[in-house]
Amino acid sequence: MNLLAIENLKVTFRTPSGQVRAVDGATLKLKEAETLALVGETGCGKSTIAHSVLSLLPENADVHGKILYDNKNLLLLHEKALARLRGKDISLVMQNPALALNPVLSIGHQMTEPLIVHLRLKKQDAILTAKSLMEKLSFKGPSNAIRAYPFEMSGGMKQRVLIGISVILSPKIIIADEPTKGLDDRLRGMILEELRLAREMNRSSMIFISHDLNAAKEISDRIAVMYAGEILESGTTQAFFKEPLHPYSKALLESLPEQGFKPVPGVPPSMIHPPRGCKFHPRCPHKKEICAKKRPVFKRTNNRDVKCVLYS
């Protein structure tokens, strides 16, 4: 069953240079207890999707489409209902750990706040709950971490604290936005393990947003490939890595070090004046005449969805 359904989501940002089409008709489904990886090059709209789900978009954004959760379109919810939902039903691990924590409040304060505000726990009980969660997430020395301030922690440690905060209310959905970015291999492994534990503890579903295809392969059940605001392919992670369908997916996999480090040819398109037809066609080795004229629609083949004339 679908826990979350994003239907034809369109988000534009008003800027002095024109309308940025950050999300351009994206459709995605997340099932119960499933991890969906959302991958794609920088600037393709991944974080914008994450922010749309929790209505955290800036003032200059215009949003259309549907985001269905618990029989409600989240895009139509009032702020009060959204505040109840954030963290408790759906939580977000923000992309930038340095900015996501408040520098003047202790880690303990920031971890216990959701428990005190949402669940009305007493401070002492909230601290006990926070410590026990950190232990479950294999955090060494929770008592010291609780007393620390963000500036006393490394980037990796802050990222782990953010994961802790995001799951402290046992949300049904965790959205983790680039949680392994800029981390060395050891920390990257720890973060992935922590996310796995967090997910299993509550049988949560997760949207794992990343540039890191190998991390996506390790952690996800399904994968969706995003390009210039659109989802071009989605399917099981296993099938995707065995045989990617879309030419862009193939190019992405070929850019992995173990596949020869061949960068995706060309440059990402303008998000203000994107190419007509298939947005990937200027970079596509298989392009046909029609690709420059008509935007392809999703086709379902063997339980996989792909947007490309090669499969129509």
The gap from C-alpha 206 to its chain's centroid, in whole angstroms, comes to 8
Candidates 3, 11, 13, 47: give the one binding Mg ion (CB under 5 A).
Answer: 47
User: Could you tell me the two tokens for 119?
Assistant: 């669940």
Candidates 8, 60, 73, 259: give the one binding ligand ATP (CB under 6 A).
Answer: 60
Binding partner of 22, given ligand ATP, Mg ion, none, CB within 5-8 angstroms per partner class: ligand ATP
How far is the C-alpha of 123 from the C-alpha of 89, rounded, in Å?
Answer: 22
Place of tokens 């480090």: 261
Query: Between 7 and 46, how does the x/- string for binding to Mg ion read (CB under 5 A)?
Result: ---------------------------------------x
Residue 221 carries which DSSP code?
A: S
Buried b (16+ CB within 10 A) or exposed e, 58-67: eeebebebeb
Closest among 66, 75, 62 to 20, alpha carbons compared: 62
What residues contact residue 161 under an 8 Å CB cut-off, 6+ apart? 101, 107, 110, 111, 145, 153
Are 63 and 11 in contact, with CB atoms under 8 Å apart?
yes
Binding partner of 13, given ligand ATP, Mg ion, none, CB within 5-8 angstroms per partner class: ligand ATP
Candidates 1, 17, 42, 267: give the one binding ligand ATP (CB under 6 A).
Answer: 42
Candidates 3, 20, 167, 306: give the one binding ligand ATP (CB under 6 A).
Answer: 20
Q: How many CA atoms lie within 13 A of 230 on its CB side?
A: 23
Positive or negative, the CA dihedral 20, 25, 26, 29 is: positive
Which residues in the 252-271 window bind ligand ATP by CB under 6 A? 271
* Cβ at position 14, least distance to ligand ATP in Å: 8
Residue 58 binds ligand ATP, judged by CB under 6 A: yes
How far is the C-alpha of 86 from the C-alpha of 179, rounded, in Å?
Answer: 18
Selected range binding ligand ATP among 15-23, 72-80, 241-249, 255-263, rule: CB under 6 A:
15-23
What are the φ/ψ torsions at residue 102 (nearest 5 degrees)? -80, 120
Residues contacting ligand ATP: total by CB under 6 A? 17
Q: What residue is closest to Mg ion based on CB?
A: 47
Binding partner of 43, given ligand ATP, Mg ion, none, CB within 5-8 angstroms per partner class: ligand ATP
Residue 46 binds ligand ATP, judged by CB under 6 A: yes
Taking CA atoms, 180 is separated from 193, 196, 269, in Å, by 11, 13, 26
User: Could you tell me the two tokens for 273?
Assistant: 């004046």
Candidates 29, 45, 168, 204: give the one binding ligand ATP (CB under 6 A).
Answer: 45
Nearer to Mg ion, 46 or 188 (CB): 46
Nearer to ligand ATP, 181 or 307 (CB): 181
Q: Which residues are at the interface with ligand ATP (CB under 6 A)?
A: 13, 15, 20, 22, 42-48, 58, 60, 95, 178, 211, 271
Q: Which residues are at the interface with Mg ion (CB under 5 A)?
A: 46-47, 95
